[in-house]
Amino acid sequence: RALRSLTGEPIRVALAGRTDAGVHARGQVAAFTSGSRHGPDVFVRALNHHLPDQIAVRMVREVALTFDPRRQAVSRWYRYTIHNGRQRPALMRAVVWQVAEPLDADAMAEAAASLVGEHDFAAFTQPSFAGRRSTCRRMTRAEVKRCGRRILVEVEANAFLPHQVRRIVGSLVEVGRGRLSAGEFGSLLREAKPGAASLTAPARGLCLMKVRYEDGLFDDEDDETDEDV
């Protein structure tokens, strides 16, 4: 609607990927075709004027007509934020998962390391999905780090399965609680039993941080995605 208000054209928008309801995005990529003569800077200002406060356009680039934000993406980077403490994170409640009991972030990091590489991630998605499509994905990064009361889980892969990141985080929290060992976490991955990782972290703690492309299309973006939220 914002694009139609600006250009007067019926415009269709293609996204780099869909996220679960309740998941946030700081680096979503959207593509559209328009005959408007407005430059990129005008689009940024005008779209932000028409959009609700919860949505912000940070950059507009002209690309080839053949550009496909989903199929041409080489990786997606997600961050999951856990507030590890009993005190309620009032100001951040909408973007973190509060886990009151102490978590062993080192054990979680050890378990997460087993995710790097090309694997069958069937255990970390819905059983109904695993029977219909390939569940193999190539993960290039899986890290867990503690920043005070927050624990950040960072994952990057060529693509993700439905609920994959949230189920990974749920299982890592079980490792952090001591209910699951790093070895048992690795067994979940290797055995690839559909839906075996049943604890799904809440959507609100997950954020799509960046979508990467071969030509570095948005790599010079002046953003804050490397900060610890």
Catalytic residue numbers read 20
Name the β-bridge partners of 97.
82
Q: Which residues contact 192 (CB under 8 A, 6 or more apart)?
A: 119, 120, 121, 122, 123, 135
- Which tokens in the block code for residue 220? 């010079």
d(CA 115, CA 148): 25
Residue 60 near residue 44, CB atoms below 8 Å: yes
Parallel, antiparallel or unpaired: strands 14-15 and 73-84: unpaired
CA distance 157 to 74: 8
CA distance 13 to 4: 11
Question: DSSP letters along 127-192, please?
Answer: HHHHTTS--EEEEEEEEEEEETTEEEEEEEES---TTHHHHHHHHHHHHHHTSS-HHHHHHHHHH-
